[in-house]
A and B are shown apart, each in its own frame.
Chain A
Amino acid sequence: MPRPARRTSLILILALLALVIAFAAWRATHRASPEPRFTLFVHPADESHDPAKVVAAVFTRTSEHLDWSALLPKDLSGAEKILWIEQIGGGGSARLFGGYSVRGGELYFTPSAPLLPGATYHVAFAPPDAEKGDVQSPANVGFAATSGHGRLDLMYQVPAATAEAPKLQTLHPTAEELPANHLKFYLTFSEPMEQGVFLERIKLLRADGSEIAGPFREAELWSPDGRRLTVWLHPGRQKTGVSLNEAEGAVLREGETVALNVSGAWRSVRGQKLGVDFKRSYRIAAAARGQVDPSKWSIQPPKANTRDPLRILFPGPLDWALLQDGIRITSDARQPLDGRLHIADGDGEWLFTPKTPWQSGSHLIVINPVLEDLAGNNLNGPFEADATASAAAQPSVAELPLRIE
């Protein structure tokens, strides 16, 4: 063979060898790892991106091919042994309750209750036979991820709640005087409050500061938004002749002064305390036993073609919550008028400002028969009515004429 040809062959062989070596090297670097590489991450559970509502999830780079059934049975029983969240601190750690699911090749753990503001959690993924990882990594404030071949650990801290204190916005009745058979208080807060504690947080005190024992009905009655609490004085003690009333006496006594005290220790759902006690005193008047009678109301009609308020003055305060929806103004043809409502003078005055100027002519004041005074007496009868037919009260008139001129 001529020398140039031999050299060319050698170069070709070397080039081929180089190609084989390069391919082998490429294969070596791109071949799938003998163990799958996992990523553990903490992520918002929903679109609210609330850092207290999270899921822990695990996927692998080859998750579309990963068969979790190699690690877990179909019903995912035993998943709590390989993926969990535990709370750190508070004298120990305990794994949180939650649910498991596999979606899109990823294993999820969803805690059954939101995490707590300011608390730190250890999130762990421990595939079988994996060695213990390094859990000493600093806590991540915010969502985080970590990757590796074996056991994975993450620390996750929920940001602390804002320090702003909740407020008791209103307490009704606003009247200075209550009948001795008064029934309900309404407390409205600036934000949703802790439930299950109202009997410890609200006290009724006598003038000497002593606490009245067992004054409230135990039913805890919050508005759906968790901001307004209805507190009933125990009806069994407020009604005459009921065994509780006979055994323990009425909660309130005519002529005394009592104070409703709301403790500053009461927390909002964010865990922030009211901070200061709130106290309002009431003079206790005679019990109110008559039914509500709108014919005794004083109506002050506005002038036509104005947006002046219609004023209705009651002989005494009515129930603030029931007043919100208890009186409607309609046209003569019973079309309800749109407008703004204002309750004033210790819940003894009702003002209605129409959206459009008053039309002259006949109108109607339509009253819901269940509208009550402070003692639970309504248009249908007094609170202490005996439901037997012979004793039934005649309902009061529930409609009043209103003439606008």
Chain B
Amino acid sequence: MKTQTVLRASAAIATLAVITAGVSRISSQQAQAAPSPGHASHLKNAQTGGLKLASVSSLSFGPAGLLLVAEPGSGSVVGIETGDTGPMKKPKPIADIGTVVAAGLGTTAENITIKDMAVNPESGRVYLAVMRKPDNAAAVITIGADGKAGALDTAKFAWARVTLPGGTTTKVTNVTDVACASDRVIAAGSCNEEFASKIFSIPMPLEHGGTASVFSAETYHVSHKKWETRAPISSFVCEAEDGKTNVVGAFACTPIAKFPVGDLQSGAQVKGVSMVELGSGNRPIDMFMYSKGGKRWLVTQTQRFHQPLFGPSNLWGARVDMALLNPSSPDKTNEKAVHRDVKQAKDPQGIEVVDVLFGAVQADKLSDEEAVVIRDNGGKLAMELVALP
């Protein structure tokens, strides 16, 4: 019997070796959430199974459950067709999300870092980019309406990886943010050794092994009244204006600037227009847009490293009336960009502190009414739903 077991195990081992050495042959019927039949793929030359993420820094959603993962270790953007297309359900809050995620990764809360959070706009499911210490293992964790956390089983889905073209001397290794515009995927990244602002544009469908156009961004930095080519974009969103794509990005020294990338050829320099200055001493963490009361708002979640603080935490968020980003008058750009009046929580120019974002280390939109935040409650991380103003 023992011999039989050993033989059977050996056979299984051989089978396993074959399976794991090659592309996984999991049938689509076993996939948890394979894209529905007839659904047009947003990937080209897509790979099936076998996806291993070297690292994760940022997450974002494209259409039809397309998850975009910024992978800084390889300087790449990975698209994953999760098939998570709804129906829309609100995620259930979790009081100690750090411990829940850490336990599922076999460790304790102090040994994980939640690098980013994205809410799937079609299903309400929450996706977390997580790195484990000290081994730097990367995982994408999802939380659904039942409050259950689990890892995205990357082995099951179609995916494509695009490596961003390098700088003048070195590879791109730092991918700070990624987002999907109507016809393309935009990423911001930099090389370790060069201080430069680079915007990458990847055409849709995302082609595995394909490449990206690269633009050098030049922006007027309001705080020191100079044109800059060298400050990297920390966080951004994509928006369309007259059918053309704009990247609205924030820098470490906090101007919010708009970059029209719609018609540019690779290698071009894109001139950003500084629109709003939130004040110095703030590092942008996240941005999202929503509509309410007949207005479109841009929310920037920020870490403040200066005194005085604007409320009970150095983590704070502001919403900016998008009308300020599409001014009819050029008098309100660059050196004449709107400065937030830091003495007013509700600056009548259209820049307001969002109280529910104090203490949030991550924030993303769930709907035009609500956002999901991960809040640092004295060392414990809580995932909450908050009403947007």
A contact residues vs B (CB 8 Å cutoff) = 39, 41, 43-47, 55, 57, 59, 61, 74-77, 87, 90, 94-104, 106, 110-116, 119, 121, 145, 147, 183-184, 192-197, 214, 217-219, 221-224, 226, 230, 232, 235-236, 239, 241-244, 247-248, 267-271, 319, 321-322, 325-326, 368-370, 376, 383, 386-388
B15 A271 Cβ-Cβ under 8 A = no
Given A96-B106, A98-B151: A321 and B226 interface contact (C-beta under 8 Å): no
In the bound complex, residues from chain A placing their C-beta under 8 Å from that of B226 are 241, 386-388
If A97-B104, A219-B190, A221-B173 are given as contacts, then 4 extra A-B residue pairs at C-beta distance below 8 Å, sorted by A number, are A223-B192, A242-B253, A247-B281, A267-B134
Known contacts A59-B8, A99-B153, A241-B226, A222 near B13 by CB under 8 Å: no
**Cross-chain contact B171 with A184 (CB below 8 angstroms):** no
Is A243 touching B20 in the complex (CB atoms < 8 A)? Answer: no
- Shortest Cβ distance from residue A147 to the other chain B in the assembled complex, whole angstroms: 6
Partner of B131, one of A97, A196, A244, A388: A196
> How far is A370 from B170 in the complex, measured between Cα atoms in Å?
11
How many Å from the CB of A382 to the closest CB on chain B?
11
Q: A219-B174, A242-B223 are in contact. Are A94 and B103 (CB under 8 A)?
A: yes
Measured in the bound complex, the distance between the Cα atoms of B231 and A242 in whole Å is 12
Question: Given the complex of chains A and B, what is the CA–CA distance between A18 and B49 in angstroms?
Answer: 58
Contact call A244/B281, Cβ cutoff below 8 A: yes
Task: Tell me the smallest distance from the CB of A79 to a CB of chain B, in Å.
Answer: 10
Would B135 and A269 count as touching, CB distance under 8 A?
yes
Contact B227 A222 (CB under 8 A): no
Q: Are A322 and B169 in contact (CB under 8 A)?
A: yes
Measured CA separation A75–B55 after assembly (Å): 28
Whether A113 contacts B281 by the Cβ 8 Å rule is no
Chain A positions within 8 Å of B136 at CB level:
192, 194-195, 226, 269
- Write out the residue numbers on chain A whose beta carbons fall within 8 Å of the beta carbon of B239: none
Task: Give residues of chain B (215-237) contacting chain A, Cβ–Cβ below 8 Å.
Answer: 218, 221, 223-232
With A57-B16, A97-B151, A112-B151: A103-B283 Cβ-Cβ less than 8 Å: no
What are the residues of chain B within 8 A of A270 when measuring CB–CB?
Answer: 134-135
Q: Is B9 within 8 A of A370, CB to CB? A: no
**Does B139 touch A at the CB level, under 8 Å?**
yes
Encoded as 1 (CB less than 8 Å from any A CB) or 0, chain B from 128 to 143 comes to 0001111111010100
User: Using a CB-CB cutoff of 8 Å, which residues 21-75 of chain B contact chain A?
Assistant: 21, 24-26, 29-32, 55, 73-75
Q: List 21 A-B contacts (CB under 8 A).
A: A41-B12, A43-B16, A57-B16, A59-B12, A74-B30, A101-B30, A103-B26, A104-B12, A113-B135, A116-B107, A183-B195, A195-B55, A196-B113, A218-B283, A221-B192, A222-B73, A326-B169, A370-B169, A370-B194, A383-B230, A386-B227
Q: Which residue of B lies closest to A98 (CB)?
A: B151
> How close is A95's CB to chain B, nearest CB, in angstroms?
7
Report the separation of the CA atoms of residues A196 and B55 in the bound assembly, to the nearest whole angstrom: 12
Whether A47 contacts B21 by the Cβ 8 Å rule is yes
> Is B280 an interface position by the 8 A CB rule?
yes
Task: A291 to B293: give the CA distance in the assembly, Å.
Answer: 53
* A44 and B141 alpha carbons, distance in the complex (Å): 23
Contact A74 to B29, CB < 8 A, known contacts A218-B283, A221-B192, A244-B253 = yes
Nearest first, the 9 A-B pairs at minimum CB distance are A99-B153, A112-B151, A243-B280, A94-B103, A194-B134, A97-B151, A387-B227, A97-B104, A221-B192
* Minimal beta-carbon separation of B190 from chain A (angstroms): 8
Band of interface residues on B: 35 or more
**Is there an interface contact between A99 and B106, defined as CB atoms closer than 8 Å?**
no
A376, B280: Cβ atoms closer than 8 Å: no
* Chain B residue nearest to A184 in the complex (CB): B193
Find out whether the CB atom of B133 lies under 8 angstroms from the CB atom of A368. no
State in angstroms the CA–CA spacing of A221 and B5 once bound together: 49
Distance (Å) between the CB of A268 and the closest chain B CB?
7
B356 CB–A CB distance under 8 Å: no
Say yes or no: A241 contacts B193, CB within 8 Å: no
Q: Are A232 and B195 in contact (CB under 8 A)?
A: yes
- On whether the beta carbons of A46 and B20 are closer than 8 Å, the reply is yes
User: B133–A97 contact, CB under 8 A?
Assistant: no
Which chain B positions have C-beta within 8 A of A223?
173, 192
Q: Bound state CA distance, A43 and B252, in angstroms?
A: 47
Contact across chains for B105 and A230 when beta carbons are under 8 A apart = no
A94 in contact with B168 (CB, 8 Å): no
Given A192-B136, A326-B169, answer yes or no on A95-B104 (Cβ-Cβ < 8 Å).
yes
**A213 and B145 alpha carbons, distance in the complex (Å):** 43
Q: In this complex, what residue of B is CB-closest to A103?
A: B19
Most buried by A among B150, B171, B218: B150
B122 vs chain A, min Cβ distance (A): 19
Q: Which residues of A contact B32 (CB under 8 A)?
A: 75-77
With A113-B137, A271-B134 in contact, is A119–B106 under 8 Å at CB?
A: yes
Q: Which of B133, B225, B229 contacts A195 (CB 8 A)?
A: B133
Of the candidates B103, B134, B221, which one forms a contact with A268 in the assembled complex, judged by CB atoms under 8 Å apart?
B134
CA distance A119 to B105 in the complex (A): 13
Within the assembled complex, what's the spacing in Å between the Cα atoms of A221 and B107? 25
**B167 closest partner in A (C-beta):** A370
Could you say which residues of chain A place their CB within 8 Å of the CB of B73? Answer: 222, 224, 226
- A41–B15 CA distance with the chains assembled, in angstroms: 14
**B224 adjacent to A242 (CB under 8 Å):** yes
Q: Which of B4, B12, B32, B150 has the most CB of A within 10 A?
A: B12
Given contact pairs A96-B105, A370-B194, A103 touches B9 in the complex (Cβ within 8 A): no
A52's nearest neighbour on chain B, judged by CB, is B135
Q: How far is A113 from B101 in the complex, measured between Cα atoms in Å? A: 12
In the complex, what residues of A have CB within 8 A of residue B169's CB?
A: 322, 325-326, 368, 370
